[in-house]
Amino acid sequence: MSRLNMLAAISVAAALVAVPALAQEKKLIAVSIPAADHGWTAGVVYHAQAAAEEIQAAFPNIEVVVKTSPSASAQVSALEDLTATRQPDALVILPHSSEELTGPVQSIKDAGTFITVVDRGLTDPEIQDLYVAGDNIAVGSTTAQFLIDNLGGKGDVVVLRGIPTVIDDERIQGFQDTIEGTDINVLDIQYANWNSDEAFSLMQDYLAKYPHIDAVWANDDDMLLGVLEAIQQSGRTEIKYALGGNGMKEIIEKVMAGDPMTPIETPYPPSMIKTAIYMTAAQFHGQAPVRGSVKLDAPLITKDNAAEYYFPDSPF
């Protein structure tokens, strides 16, 4: 056997030995998220699936499986199905409910799985290796500061809350702490459950109840759509601003177009699920240390920077 043929044979033999080793090294990242039951979660599903495709194309040693669930109980069942035949190396989860998912995620953690929690935390934060979320305090405070600056530090506003959760509480806290000491007066503040139809009805009530309103803060863009429809149907012209939050593409389009009533936005991007999946993959490709907590900022989005936050192919 010539020297060249001998080297080739050695190379083939080495490759045959290496194939099973590489196969064993392939990592599985399971992603468990709510189904697309409203705009924001539709964006979560879109960005999770995009991240899965991109990571698997870039890193053949990583497999990403995305499962959506319409309820907390369904998400628990989905986790049981995911782990029935194969233990994932990592779980990226956006829980439907902190209480119902904490126990099942703990069981997966106990088997040695890396746990990444997104947005809604578990009741026991010690379970998670990595936590990724937005800054809800900043969503409220950034919006409030815009109103202070552009209403001259005074004016009558109405506020629509979301669902009674820590997320909603933090947004309201950020808003109220920022307007404290100013002459911005909150005429009314009630829940519309992050629902466009409920926001439409609540805004109609506000319009009937208060003859003069300077601005509306809807806390969330799904609700803002209902608010804008109610204002348009009322024909009221004194309302200077109607603002939301989260970064819905329809609202970003208004900001990009210089809409006078909705000239700014604050992000709480559903694309945070993509950040979480990429960070989780990083430790399997390159051994990058990713443990800890990551809080994404909520900077003011204006006409000048709106394009950075615009995802035309996303449903949200």
Judge whether residue 86 has pLDDT over 70: yes
pLDDT (average), residues 123-130 = 95
pLDDT at 17: 38
Q: Are strands 154-161 and 130-134 parallel, antiparallel or unpaired?
A: unpaired
Judge whether residue 22 has pLDDT over 50: no
pLDDT at 251: 96
pLDDT at 187: 98
pLDDT digits (tens, 9 = 90+) for 149-166: 999 999 999 999 998 877
Calpha distance 122→99 (Å, rounded): 7
Calpha distance 48→65 (Å, rounded): 10
pLDDT digits (tens, 9 = 90+) for 174-230: 999 999 999 999 999 999 988 999 999 999 999 999 999 999 999 899 999 999 999
Tokens 């430790």 identify what position?
283
Rounded to 5 degrees, φ, ψ at 257 are -85, -5
The confidence band for 312, taking pLDDT boundaries of 50, 70 and 90, is: confident
pTM of the model: 0.78
Calpha distance 263→229 (Å, rounded): 17
Tally Cβ neighbours within 10 Å of residue 217: 28
What percent of the chain has pLDDT above 70? 92
Cα distances (angstroms) measured from residue 14 to each of 9, 18, 62? 8, 6, 22
